[in-house]
Amino acid sequence: MLQLDKKTITEFEEAGVKKLKVFFYEAGCSGTKINMETEFEITSEIQELKTEYWFWLYVPKTDFKYLENANITRVVKADHTGEEKTRYIFSSDEIEDRCGCGTSFAFEKPVPKIDLEKLKKMRENFKNKNN
């Protein structure tokens, strides 16, 4: 069951939230971030996720398997400009990689890109300097 932090739940209750959509989008150092919205159309591409909350929770069908047993914590942090922004920290056993600030993640370990020609030249230069 997807769990949200208590402060976020309290604020949703005070705001009278009736439905919530949780979804992934491409962004950040690790490639994926999570977001939420309360104003959306219910289409065949999203499905309800059972929760203990009073509001209806919807997720894209493509993301269901990652969201069904996860946790989301909302934090307010200043960005590089000093402006405070709401961010979400997504926690799940499915995560294989996470950025330094914790807001972006990946479900697969990144494969390092190696330029073999550049590596070969570096080895040659190293050998030449040590001789």
* pTM, to two decimals: 0.76
Q: How many domains does the chain have?
A: 1
Q: Which domain holds residue 50?
A: 3-130
Query: Which band of pLDDT confidence, cut at 50, 70 and 90, is reported for residue 22?
Result: very high
CATH of the domain at 48: 2.60.300.12
pLDDT tens figures, 33-42: 999 999 999 9
SS (H, E, C) 44-86: CCEEECCCCCCCEEEEEHHHHHHHCCCEEEEEEEECCCCCEEE
The answer on pLDDT for 129 being more than 90 is: no
